[in-house]
Amino acid sequence: MDQEKINIIMSQMADVLDNMQLLQLKKVLEEVDSGERKKDDSEDLLKRFISTKRLEGRSERTLSYYQITIEKMLNSLNKNVRAITTDDLRQYLSDYQES
């Protein structure tokens, strides 16, 4: 995405975002454009998910089940969690039911 596209996005969002939000949006767009956000943060997001569920009062047995099930899915899909699509999940669940 070149600077012209970033500027178009920024101008279209100016009516709904304040200045701080616009600056953050610009930073994110530039990072995405430069590839800085391509790091796989699936493991970190899974840890945050489990921590949230722990705070919500889920049992350790349930948390363990979540952890194992999600890790198995991520390993099977072999994608950054942010790149997983609905079709990926449908295919995974279809394959899972067949096995």
Per residue in 30-60, pLDDT tens? 877 666 555 678 999 999 999 999 999 999 9
d(CA 33, CA 38): 10
Task: Give residue 51's domain range.
Answer: 42-98
Verify that 46 and 92 share a domain, yes or no: yes
Verify that 34 and 57 share a domain, yes or no: no
d(CA 56, CA 14): 37
Verify that 27 and 47 share a domain, yes or no: no
d(CA 62, CA 56): 12
Verify that 32 and 59 share a domain, yes or no: no
| 3-state SS class at 18 | coil
pLDDT of res. 83: 84
Quote the percentage of the chain above a pLDDT of 70: 91
Domain count, the chain: 2
H/E stretch holding 66 reads helix 60-77
pTM of the model: 0.60
The Cα-based distances of 83 to 11, 25, 36 in angstroms read 27, 20, 15
Verify that 25 and 58 share a domain, yes or no: no
Verify that 67 and 90 share a domain, yes or no: yes
